[in-house]
Amino acid sequence: MASDNVKACPHPSLLTPHAVLKLGRFSLALERPLIMGVLNVTPDSFSDSGRFLGTQQAVEHARILIEEGADILDIGGQSSRPGAESVGLDEELRRVMPVLEKLGGLPVPVSVDTCKPEVMRRAIAAGAAMVNDINALREPGALEAVAESQAAVCLMHMQGEPRTMQQDPHYADVVSEVTEYLAQRVEAAQQAGIARERIVIDPGFGFGKKTRHNLELLRGLPRIAGLGQPVLVGLSRKSLLGKITGKPVADRVSASVAAALLAAERGAALVRVHDVAATRDALLVLDAIERHSLVKD
Ligand code: 9MG
């Protein structure tokens, strides 16, 4: 019987060394795990506590994330924190667009974290090269908004919706159910005209999942990677890590780096993180071990 352990499925880059992710005018080789740096512009973002509200501060933060080694930036004006109320279209545009318009000439692709087709269209027109949708393009018009562009998309699994999703999540077999859901969303995206090299999938850690579901998904990541699409994992600073370590959000950097590393080892092609510099160092160590990458003596 196939097991979910690390050795059962090597990192996807070892199986498909020439795989690339196409994001608008960018093309990123998936030969090592990529780092998506989180740039929040929400006042209630659970881990940055509103620190990056202003456009100027957000732009400055973006530059720091790139210097630290981010391969992609993810900017979001909606909060997806458990219990968060949804944000209206105008407010989301007001938070995101001024920052996006100022990030135009950056050397790395910018992703927009949104579920709203109108925000997707406006953001892509302003230069966003990827849509990160926690709702997996289920909103009417969302598939079309991405399909009519060259932007990449991240299709994430979520049970329920942010306001209520942690109240009583239920699964008979979380790995099978999440894998099946993601396979269906990839199929829907392809049917709508989105090419496979533009599609990333994400099991959605913490989105309608109890601790045991999150841990089962992390163990089962090689099965999700077996769908053949690059897998993005977001564990950075999440409550799962608080449950394991007993530490508050501000003290979860080490646990977040460990989680990103373990996810990469189990097949994550991208990790979505707040602490870019520390994650980059950890992934360089993994790269040196797994791919015999050139390290000078
Ligand atoms: C916006 N956001 C918060 N957590 C996330 C995660 O785990 N994955 C993705 N794709 N987006 C997330």
What is the pLDDT at residue 55?
86
- Give the separation between CA 219 and CA 203, rounded to whole angstroms: 12
- Residue 110 CA to ligand 1 center (angstroms) comes to 15
Mean pLDDT of 141-160: 97
> Mutual orientation of helices 55-68 and 89-102 as an angle, nearest 10°?
60
Mean pLDDT of 110-123: 97
Mean pLDDT of 106-121: 97
DSSP for 246-257 reads: ---GGG-HHHHH
240-280 pLDDT per residue, tens: 999 999 999 999 999 999 999 999 999 999 999 999 999 99
160-171 pLDDT per residue, tens: 888 777 788 889
Tokens 């302003």 correspond to: 126
Residue whose CA is at the smallest distance from ligand 1 atom 4: 234
280 an active-site residue? no
252 an active-site residue? no
- Give the separation between CA 269 and CA 200, rounded to whole angstroms: 9
- Give the separation between CA 32 and CA 20, rounded to whole angstroms: 11
Band of the pLDDT at 5, cuts 50, 70, 90?
very low
Band of the pLDDT at 4, cuts 50, 70, 90?
very low
- Give the separation between CA 70 and CA 18, rounded to whole angstroms: 21
User: Residue 273: CB within 6 Å of ligand 1?
Assistant: no
| Six-digit token string for 233 | 């994992």
User: Residue 232: CB within 6 Å of ligand 1?
Assistant: yes
Residue whose CA is at the smallest distance from ligand 1 atom 3: 80
- Residue 20 CA to ligand 1 center (angstroms) comes to 21
User: Residue 154: CB within 6 Å of ligand 1?
Assistant: yes
CB-hemisphere CA count at 13 Å for 12? 27
Residue 230 has pLDDT above 80, yes or no: yes
Residue 10 has pLDDT above 70, yes or no: no
Percent of the chain with pLDDT over 90: 76
User: Residue 234: CB within 6 Å of ligand 1?
Assistant: yes
More confident residue, 13 or 151: 151
More confident residue, 86 or 134: 134
Mean pLDDT, the chain, rounded, equals 90
Q: Which of 238, 252, 266, 280 is catalytic?
A: 238
| Six-digit token string for 294 | 């050139």
- Give the separation between CA 245 and CA 107, rounded to whole angstroms: 36
